[in-house]
Amino acid sequence: MKSVRVDSHEDPVEITTNARVLDAVLAAREKLLMACGGKGLCATCHVYVTEGAERLSPMTPRERMSLPMLADRRPNSRLACQAKVLGNGVKVELPRGRFIDAASDLDKLIGRRAEEPILHPVTGAVLIEAGKLITRSRIKELSFVDVDIAEMKTRSLSMEMNPKIVR
């Protein structure tokens, strides 16, 4: 077993050696979009590794292909579904404001100012900047997010069925 610290959770979660970072994130009851179902094709399971990066499996070809598409990637970015935990002491953080499944998820925030940037769930681009008022019309404008998610799921499915596209 290996212990992994996830985001602001005080207690580490225990996962089996060689399990994915994704398994630790889910064990911590954090929500990830996982548009491709954990196949390394969509980058919606993006995390930042803040400690113990050397105790993870090396970056996979799918990560090298998917990570450059993200606007919010950093040198310590990994895909949670691809990185496997080989040793203790790994800590990951989730990109802030990223995990919306659909534009309608933001309905509950209408009338408030965004406390942190709200990011596109697929690309990581900023949709609403921190401090900006979230209005009904702004949410309506963001309906393209739902189309982007649906397209990503379709693209992931076709890449999976045609693996020669992925090197």
Binding interface with ligand FES (CB under 6 A): 34-36, 38-45, 66, 79, 81
To the nearest whole angstrom, how small is the minimum distance from the Cβ of residue 41 to ligand FES?
Answer: 5
Between residues 127 and 149, which has the closer beta carbon with respect to ligand FES?
Answer: 149
Structure tokens at 25: 């994130």
160 SS3 class: helix
To the nearest whole angstrom, how small is the minimum distance from the Cβ of residue 43 to ligand FES?
Answer: 5
To the nearest whole angstrom, how small is the minimum distance from the Cβ of residue 133 to ligand FES?
Answer: 32
Separation between Cα atoms, residue 131 and residue 104, nearest integer Å = 20
Between residues 5 and 20, which has the closer beta carbon with respect to ligand FES?
Answer: 20
Between residues 71 and 130, which has the closer beta carbon with respect to ligand FES?
Answer: 71
Separation between Cα atoms, residue 125 and residue 17, nearest integer Å = 33
Query: CB within 8 A of 93, min separation 6: which ones?
Result: 7, 47, 48, 50
